[in-house]
Amino acid sequence: MHHVRTITDSECNPQAAEAAPRPSLRGTTAPPGTLTAVPQADQTSPESYPGPPRPARVEPVPLAELARLLDAEAPDTVVTGTGDTDVSATGITHDSRAVRPGDVYAALPGARLHGADFVEQARSLGAVAVLTDPGGTARAEATGLAVLTVPDPRGRMGELAATLYGKPGEDLLQIGITGTSGKTTTAYLVDGGLRKAAEQGVPGAARPSQGGGGRQAGGLTGLIGTVESRIGDERIKSERTTPEATDLQALFAVMRERGVTSVAMEVSSHALVLGRVDGCVFDIGVFNNLSPEHLDFHPDMEDYFQAKRQLFTPRRSRAAVVNFDDEYGFRLLTELGEEGFPVTTFSAEGHPDADWRAEDVVLGPFGSTFTAVGPEGQKVSAGVPLAGPFNVANALAALTALVAAGIDPHTAAEGISEVPGVPGRLQRVDAGQDYLAIVDYAHKPDAVESVLYAVRKVTDGAVHAVLGCGGDRDPHKRPAMGAALARLSDTAVLTSDNPRTEDPLAILATMLGGAAEVPAHERGTVLLEEDRAAAIRAAVARAGSGDTVLVLGKGHEQGQDIAGVVRPFDDTQVLGAAIHERAAECAAAPRAPSVPRSDPSPSADIHRTDDQNR
């Protein structure tokens, strides 16, 4: 059996202190940074209006023109408060609280309420017209505003927003990333390549379907995703993975106005189904992988796949980059090939039939290196500043997408390797301790297993992992997550994530049920601690030299939702505080005398089977 860790008589392990000290695991790269619960100056729009940023200059569009676009009945002439009869619009929003003078207010039907219930608020804030369905028409007309009625206002909202803001996406190189895992990381890595290309004055990509040409050299880059949106270096806190269509088109317009020429963007299945990317045609659509998630929104995996599949149509994208190694990716590339849709494939496993493949992969505790081999046999030295084989796949996906967009592969690889990190994705927390401490967003079974496998490969000692499951969604994955943590950790601390309206103990009971299904000889010590901060402290208290403490599930998130109240909570801050607290306790504790040890008895050791040390 493989000996992993010996329990000593002292919590602070004084015998180990007499051994040669291990170096700090502090990395040399700059920290990726995180968002905070309270917006900082670089996260707040200088505008006084609520909601996402809007462009400063918009050409008014007459309502009659909008009606023609929607094939809607032209609204009756409406006399505004200033006596004008020729009404034009300068913006659009689906949020009645964020209406600005000149807006079209999109009053959408909802599960419990209808947007038309708030149309009076929109009118009072300066809306000039309402886009709604027949169910909201009467209430909208009662305000005296012009009304554009269509059967599916959500399905037309993106197109309308793109028109109002002058179709800004047409002036941006757009790379959209979809899949279950790795969207955020891949988007950051793509952004790194785009930044390097802009820095070197490399022209933007030609439209893959048009050939030739190219956009203006240089320019800023944009990023839109789960953690944040960025306009150059300005950061904006994200409310969801993909913004609503009204906000997205406005954001594109702001990017164009401020000199952005390219954007990397996460595209969720919700965004595709709910029309949030209507009005977008991506130059490159990237498919990373597909595994069970959001099955509270999608009835089954086939529906989930078909939702993702929508990105890879002429309506949504001009070309595709697809993961050859993924089961659903292989299905997708086969279907696209039959349809004649342009596809470039990548294989982190090195499959020779992929257009781009990874060879000579070297995995390290803080990153990996590999050689990217292209379709003509060209070889590019590449690296990714994040541990784990799955991040080799993310980096190769980013490189392939950048090359498909017309960027030199060496430039792309250089930019990817210089990305300092991704908030909440294998993010290291270093307070000078002699063990590794990591925060990661993994919140589904496959992702939890992948992170644990990756961490085990670079951990000399034991792995102490903390994990919870979110409430009110995906309850089917809780037993599998509890089982994965118990099977692959030396210490599995089951705790709360965002319980939302559910009882945290009920969630934990389901996770514990999954952990109990793991045979006793294959699982580590399982602890239950409802309080997440206490759970993190419990994991840190068990850490010894060469171990790893892994806090999973929330990643970049800055709050914890308990019973409908969101309290500030940052895993990186709580983990760092626990490390400092433990160090202070050990420094203050009296030093126990060294006692020679005989051969350890089985009861004094923790052993792991080969299966547990995969």
Distance CA 582, CA 589 (A): 11
Binding residues for ATP, by number, are 179-185
Contact present, 102 and 55 (Cβ < 8 Å) = no
- Cα–Cα distance, 548 to 428 (Å, whole number): 11
What is 34-76 written as a DSSP string?
Answer: ---SS--GGGS-SSSSSSS---S----EEHHHHHHHHTPPPPP
36 CB neighbour count, 10 Å cutoff: 13
Q: Which residues contact 192 (CB under 8 A, 6 or more apart)?
A: 398, 415, 416, 417, 418, 419
Amino acid identity at 279 = G
Half-sphere exposure of 199 (CA within 13 A, CB side): 12
Q: What 8-state DSSP symbol labels residue 9?
A: S
Sequence ranges of the binding site: 96, 179-185, 241-242, 268, 276, 473, 497-500, 553, 557
What's the one-letter identity of residue 560? Q
**The tokens 């905070």 sit on which residue?**
36
Q: Crossing angle, helix 153-164 and helix 63-70, to 10 degrees?
A: 130
- DSSP character at residue 346: E
Integer Cα distance of 173 and 601 in angstroms? 64
Residue-by-residue DSSP string for 229-272: EEETTEEEE-SSSS--HHHHHHHHHHHHHTTEEEEEEE--HHHH
The rounded distance, in Å, linking the Cα atoms of 304 and 299 is 8
> Of 132, 195, 168, 426, which Cα lies nearest the Cα of 280?
168
- Distance of alpha carbon 361 from the chain centroid: 25
The amino acid sitting at 417 is S
Please state whether beta strands 220-224 and 260-266 pair in parallel, antiparallel, or not at all (unpaired): parallel
d(C-alpha 546, C-alpha 166), whole Å = 56
Q: Which residue has the tokens 């150059």?
A: 232
> Kindly report the CA angle at 106 between 101 and 110, in degrees rounded to 5?
140
**Six token digits for residue 24:** 């700090």
Residue 486, SS3?
Answer: helix
Q: Find tokens 């708030």 and name the residue.
A: 118
Would you list which residues are annotated within the binding site for meso-2,6-diaminopimelate?
473, 497-500, 553, 557
Q: Burial level of 351, CB count in 10 A (0-12/13-18/19+)?
A: middle
How far is the C-alpha of 65 from the C-alpha of 69, rounded, in Å?
6
Q: What is the dihedral of CA 136, 140, 146, 147, to 10 degrees?
A: 0
d(Cα 99, Cα 159) in Å, to the nearest integer? 19
Task: For residue 73, give Cα distances in angstroms to 91, 104, 157.
Answer: 20, 16, 16
Is the separation of the CB atoms in 278 and 284 below 8 Å? no
Assess contact for 251 and 225: CB atoms under 8 A: no
